[in-house]
Amino acid sequence: MREHTPGKKAFLVGITGMIGGGKSTAAKILQESGAFAIHADNLAKRYTSSESPILSELVELLGSEILDGDGNPDRKKISDVVFKDKEKLDGLNRLIHPRVRADFLKLLETEAAGKLVVWEVPLLFETDAYTLCDATVTVDSDEEASILRVMERDGMKKEEVLARISNQLPLSEKLKKADYIISNKGDLESLREECGRLYTTLSGRMS
């Protein structure tokens, strides 16, 4: 946790948790309260889209089997490749993460100066993203409920969800590293109350 100096600089809060654990919902609630929300996954999608500026690098790393019939990257095929091969997953992260970081810093400077910014990052602690933050938050959730949520939301098999979980820090470690913890083990209203209290605390640190 860094000491914030009031001024034009954004107050940056990194939020993470396990897949399907409710970090996107928490970020949305904090945004509704007045925070400026940025989602790392949304920034990353540019690099696996039909207009990807790194298409040739993706194909070189992962093979042409990641392309659809029109020659565009297919995110499902990319996931199928990288979550079965840690070396390729690490290579993909090395390709995309520095670019997402640069895009994020530009957005932070041009659109979020002086604001309380919630930055949703699945790999907040696995990468050095947390070092940019004034505060970090982990959303605590029930693992089985989170897995079921992802299976229903994304149409994935349980083993596919578990493969993704295995490539992240255990939730217990993310909880230990966080400055603040939000519980998402109750209903939506309980989560809203938790986020409301956190927003008040974080806003107070900006003054």
Per-residue pLDDT in tens (0 to 9) along the chain, 207 residues: 555 444 458 899 999 999 999 999 999 999 999 999 999 999 999 999 989 999 999 999 999 999 999 999 999 899 989 988 989 999 999 999 999 999 999 998 888 888 999 999 999 999 889 999 999 999 999 999 999 999 999 999 999 999 899 989 999 999 999 999 999 999 999 999 999 999 999 999 886
Return the sign of the alpha-carbon dihedral for residues 169, 171, 172, 176. positive
Domain end among 71, 95, 114: 114
What pLDDT is attached to residue 81? 92
Residues 120 and 202 in one domain: yes
What pLDDT is attached to residue 6? 46
Residues 128 and 49 in one domain: no
What pLDDT is attached to residue 5? 45
**How many domains in the chain?**
2
Contact 24, 137 (CB under 8 A): no
Residues 196 and 177 in one domain: yes
Can you give the CATH number for the domain in which 191 is found?
A: 3.40.50.300
Say whether 67 sits in a helix, a strand or coil: strand
What is the spatial order of strands in the sheet that 116-120 belongs to? 36-39, 116-120, 11-17, 135-140, 180-183
Residues 53 and 147 in one domain: no
What pLDDT is attached to residue 113? 82
Per residue in 69-83, is it b (16+ CB within 10 Å) or e — as a string? eeeebbeebbbbbbb
Asked whether residue 127 is marked as a ligand-binding residue, the answer is no
Residues 145 and 106 in one domain: no
Residues 168 and 121 in one domain: yes
What pLDDT is attached to residue 54? 94
Residues 30 and 124 in one domain: yes
Asked whether residue 50 is marked as a ligand-binding residue, the answer is no
Residues 84 and 107 in one domain: yes
Residue 176's closest CA among 146, 150, 140?
Answer: 140
Asked whether residue 22 is marked as a ligand-binding residue, the answer is yes
Residue 15 maps to a domain: yes
Asked whether residue 34 is marked as a ligand-binding residue, the answer is no
Q: Which domain holds residue 122?
A: 10-35+116-206
Domain end among 98, 114, 130: 114
Residues 123 and 31 in one domain: yes
Residues 94 and 194 in one domain: no
Asked whether residue 20 is marked as a ligand-binding residue, the answer is yes
Quick one: which H or E segment has residue 189? helix 188-206
Backbone angles phi, psi at 140, to 5 degrees: -85, 135
User: What's the Cα-to-Cα distance from 112 to each of 86, 106, 117, rounded to whole Å?
Assistant: 35, 10, 7
Asked whether residue 24 is marked as a ligand-binding residue, the answer is yes
Residues 86 and 137 in one domain: no
What pLDDT is attached to residue 8? 56
Residue 72 maps to a domain: yes
